[in-house]
Structure 1
């Protein structure tokens, strides 16, 4: 790290020029990069995807994964929907609102009782307009359909329009760019940085983010030339990139200021400035590099999934920490060398220890067992709701709260049509066997209705729509969907698709190999941490606490979004009843790595203090190492976590419910991790573990720690009776100071 930093400072104008070019190029091309992002979410080689592709090919992009629009009318007393005049009017309306190339079904056209209530006063029609590949699939057709429906009455009753595309808010409007949310996050971060530095240095981390975000967009553009990249990536790069880039820069700048405030190290001469930067990067830069590696490792979990949508999120996620690390290790030293002292005005002696965190650490180490018990109990209580986590699309009834479309859907459910009518299973079968398949599937328990209109026939294939009594996202609804699809696929050549069937395949694709993915991420993270910290116990502890922290974030999401305790108050959005399938996996990948950042910062500092005290002959280094480590990193971790929290809060302001849920999990996880886990539980456990923290068998050291030549590193030299393996010589140099 020292050699690289000296090279960067020796070629600082070249380094600065490269980053200026990358930043300007990325900024200039960001708009076209966003235009290349896709709204598609495919599942290659899955049966539901095969069915939906066949439906799209034969029926002009109607139906499949896209839910239908629902037209509903409830007639006055004494009038029934099976009367000739009502049937004629209803049939004319449904035909009028069905766009060219679309398809629809109604009682007027089929006479099917599935579309008629028991009292024959309420009837429903399903309309599938042609869809476009965007997050608003019916945006071209809906305005005209709405206008026609609003102007129509049947036997004096107002016709109403509802359905999931309307209830979810995906019926109009294009997605906005992330500029507005990024500015909100940047302003919040600037306030925090101003409180931390109380000088012009507050602007430095923001400048690093200003270089990292456009550069990441530039790299994402390259990825779009290789594979489809989800539209969600633009928000992740802008807002998560903002938080990570600022956090890494904050760590280095804080350490640089500490070095410059040491007696005799604050001289104006170039050599003094250079040495302060070299010492800062030798320690803080190493921690930043390790943190970036742990984030990248956890995001590799998304890259290996057989789901292009999540894989593209993983690619972008990998780029965010890698670019942020590169900026912190190259551009930031140049800026500090050239402008650091000028920006650090008003100049004053900076106290590296936080009084508040020193007291917290002293209290925690004085009663480590009690601290671990209480903080662990709080963490487990926060994680407990994860046991009730339900995966799936939001239940339609949870979307149906307030407004005419909500009341219309309530009327449909109350009339006995079944909640699943909003998201039918679509079965593609030979035209000759469609009626038999319809009768067969209608007899399954939990099926509320089915239709197979004769005009839903193309190339000798016909569609049978089947819907469940309970919502497909509920437990019983999912079981019914599984039985319907399994029964349909028993017949050779029959394909079963639609949104509910694709959801089931999505869950299998994302979580089918979850155990192996978690094992892979955990093992690689353990190796990286063990090699850096020269300990077996500390990496294991970090992995366990990270798992608990992630579960606590899941628990918060279940309470807020699934159960509805606070979603209205915090987001003015009703509970969704189920957590979108991709969210928990993406949360694990991002939060696991981001949480490990703080663990690395703290443990790296504790280890440095332990080594310094050991060299001085102190036998019991545990408590003073923990107190120093927490007091020196507590303020830093709190500030970094607050900046990330503000970035995630800005992300949660986007008008996309899935992104709100995702951002809620990240924000809750970061706050829980930075306070309960790293501020209380980590120091308590390190204190309780004592000398065993530094247990590092020599055989493992020879395996993991190699010299630059690639051979085994130096043989351990015992530093006491704790069996600690030796630190890397550079890490033992006291002039490096502490992270």
Structure 2
């Protein structure tokens, strides 16, 4: 008879336990080097889409426009005492300009002499726009940080408040905040997790093992990501998702493994035998559970976006490493510890009262099945009510306004908003590239540019158009044609092809910048981008390739890229869920039930997030000072993938116990009661730990981490309470033997997986 692969694994692990223990210790030490340096290779939020219209326009500007700067630093200045005409103010501006102009990384420095809208109405505030030369992403980031540090160290007049902001500085600050957040969350979680595990196990040694495995899985994952990050771009959020998932599943899986090992020891087995049996039973369940979670994380690789790819890689790696540690290192430690895993005994006596609530679960299951319709209708009604709010979901991308108020880049941004509410530091770009290679100065080309610029400037959302032409100026189309027809005139006005900042170096492309009148930072900007793109399509230029970028175009393209694949991702995850659950349970109906319950869990989580982040419900408890008014673009997709996997986690552990009892007795009602009695306590403990882990991240200062933390903690809480202990037992009771129905002859033909934990 062929041996179970998990039994073979367990035996080999014990046989080579010294080698395996040494391997994991060495690997963890090596990985820790990369883990401590992970922030050096992470590249911001990763919300741009390679190949999109906005990305192509940025590439065009970078390569062909030597006087347009896609990356910049903004220095804001504000004084209560001085006006711009004061010698002190002028000296401060000149000091900053001098240090910037002497820097090799700077292409140009613009102040209020370039544009008087750089000045506030009371003439006490202004800003300098410092354009950075376009190098590689890494080099530009280093240049921005180096220059901002030199400016920060300047001894400026104490009566003039200065702040440094700009895209590169904002990304840097968000990276630093995310790093601190992960460290804070881990410090909050670990003591609580240890305390809870002591209560569950009644032993300090047993409690520390899951924590050790969880921390090791995080360190090894971050070290691996550090290596991967040398070859592909990874977003800052990698670190947070690794910590979140590593602590969640790492503690979860080890909880089941430790619990089973102690159970096997109580049967009188030797430590080595107990360790092998733990791998055969709980190890198998943990593997399938991890597979379910990994499928959800793998689905995030489908869009091939930097942010989703980063989250997907992080999730897959940390889950896989947590499983490998649980299947190999834990059994080795079990075999060495033996009965010492229950040490110290004092803890066991202290918490003995709370360690065996099996009678409660038996009574509860019988109560639920006695009033099955009441619990089913009540539970579903609660979830549908919360899910209703998901129908009103709005999406957007994060804003600097939601960053912590103490950040210099955020304060600089707010000062910018006071000076220039039109937000022209992030205008909408309209690029024109001639198809026939002719100069943009030719009369036919100027005519087309002017006509399209006129259409844009007539939009109510647009206040002004900057570029080769300005339809709202006193100059007519004929005047522009006359101006650009004479090269001598161009030189007189310093508008020669080589010097005009709005014209490419080869004279075959030009860029217009449309300034948005809306002072908010929400999706109004997106609508303007979409309107201009529709105008472009209707305009149907014969000689120009017109691209719309800048402003909110990156967000529009990102949303389109994310949700282009969402239906496919949903379909693949549902199909994978059905296949896994069918192979485990041998039932036609139960996988459908699992999918419906998972969908309820997801939609209820969406609804709760809408209540909190869109309508402001309980935001004060989370320390949110500015209500976002919408969810981040990426949140629904990521939550769907992760929640489906985590929900399968508990479905597998619970239903495998119920199936085990049903196979023994053939009585569906008794199977539910006994299955819940045996698994209810451990599943609730595991869920509670996961809720604590995810909840800690709900208090992050990074909005994406907050939404993930709250969404996942809500889903796990719903899944482990309303769904697992109310709705599922009710459905199983009402379905009876039909729940386990399989067409005649299928059972003999199919090789079903037998799970125990």
Task: Name the TM-score class by shorter chain.
Answer: 0.7 to 0.9
What is the match of residue 424 of structure 1?
Answer: 427
Q: 1:423 to 1:699 in 2, by over 3 A?
A: farther
Change (3 A) 1:692 1:229: same
What is aligned with 1:17? 22
Check conservation: 1:542, 1:599, Cα contact below 8 A. yes
Would the aligned equivalents of 2:272 and 2:334 in 1 still touch at CA under 8 Å?
Answer: no
Matched, 1:664 2:679: no
Specify the SS of the correspondent of 2:430.
strand
The 10-residue stretch of structure 1 (48-57 or 650-659) with the greater mean CA deviation from structure 2: 650-659
Structure 2 equivalent of residue 182 of structure 1? 186
Q: Gaps spanning 5+ residues in structure 1: where?
A: 615-620, 707-726, 732-737
Against the structure 1 CA distance between its residues 247 and 159, is the aligned structure 2 distance closer, same or farther, given a 3 Å change threshold? closer
Structure 1 counterpart of 2:322, from 321, 324, 328: 324
Aligned residue among 686, 689, 693 for 1:643 = 689
Aligned counterpart for 2:61 among listed residues 46, 55, 71: 55
What are the ranges of 5 or more consecutive residues in structure 2 without an aligned counterpart? 1-5, 434-439, 469-499
Alignment correspondent of 2:489: none
Is 1:586 aligned with 2:632? no
Residue aligned with 1:568, SS: coil
Which of the residues 455, 463, 481 maps onto 1:440? 455
* Structure 2 CA distance for aligned equivalents of residues 487 and 126 of structure 1: 33
**Equivalence map 1:27-426=2 (5 Å):** 27-39=32-44, 41=46, 42-58=48-64, 64=70, 69=74, 101-102=106-107, 108-109=113-114, 127=129, 129-130=131-132, 133=138, 138-142=144-148, 174-175=176-177, 176=179, 178-199=182-203, 200-261=205-266, 265-266=267-268, 270=270, 273-345=271-343, 346=345, 354-394=358-398, 421=424, 423-426=426-429
Following superposition, the deviation at residue 588 of structure 1 comes to 1.9
Q: Per the alignment, do residues 203 and 71 of structure 1 end up closer, same or farther by CA in structure 2, a change over 3 Å counting?
A: closer
Could you give the per-residue CA deviations for residues 508-560 of structure 1, whole angstroms, max 9, x where no partner exists?
A: 11111211111011101210110111112111111111112112222222222
Asked if 2 retains the 8 angstrom alpha-carbon contact of 1:423 and 1:498, the reply is yes
Counterpart of 2:216 in 1: which secondary structure?
helix
1:599, distance to aligned residue in structure 2 (A): 1.2
Cα distance in structure 1, aligned partners of 2:547 and 2:264: 67
Choose 320-329 or 446-455, whichever is displaced more. 446-455
**How far is 1:295 from its partner?**
0.6
1:304-360 deviations in Å (ceiling 9; x for gaps):
213133113212211122221122122222222221311213267896553433333
Distance 1:400 1:312 in 2: 24
Q: Measured at CA, do residues 385 and 19 of structure 1 come closer, stay the same or move farther in structure 2, by a change above 3 Å?
A: same
* Cα distance in 2 between the residues matched to 1:664 and 1:137: 36
* Residues 669-728 of structure 1 deviation map (CA, whole Å, 9 limit, x = unaligned): 22222222222222222222221211222576577x34xxxxxxxxxxxxxxxxxxxx66
Give the counterpart of 1:531 among 583, 589, 595: 583
CA distance in 1, matches of 2:170, 2:619: 15
Structure 1 match to 2:528: 480
**8 Å contact kept, 1:30–1:214:** yes
Give the distance between the partners of 1:237 and 1:15, measured in 2 at CA.
24
Compared with structure 1, are the counterparts of its residues 555 and 322 closer, same or farther at alpha carbon in structure 2 (3 Å cutoff)?
same
Taking the aligned partners of 2:328 and 2:303, their CA distance within structure 1 comes to 33
Paired residues of 1:167 and 1:399 also in contact (CA < 8 A): no
Aligned residue among 710, 722, 726 for 1:680 = 726
Matched, 1:556 2:608: yes
3-state DSSP of counterpart to 1:546: helix
Q: How many residues align?
A: 686
* SS of residue in 2 equivalent to 1:463: strand
Is the alpha carbon distance of 1:553 and 1:307 closer, same or farther for their aligned partners in structure 2, counting shifts above 3 Å? Answer: same
Quick check: 1:654–1:660 contact (8 Å CA) kept in 2?
yes
Deviation at 1:37, TM superposition (A): 3.1
**Contact between 2:253 and 2:286, CA under 8 Å: does it hold in 1?**
yes
Q: Distance in 2 between matches of 1:574 and 1:61?
A: 37
- Residues 587/611 of structure 1: CA separation in 2 closer, same or farther (3 Å cut): same
For residue 569 of structure 1, give the secondary structure of its aligned residue in structure 2: coil
Does the 8 A contact of 1:361 with 1:683 survive in 2?
A: yes
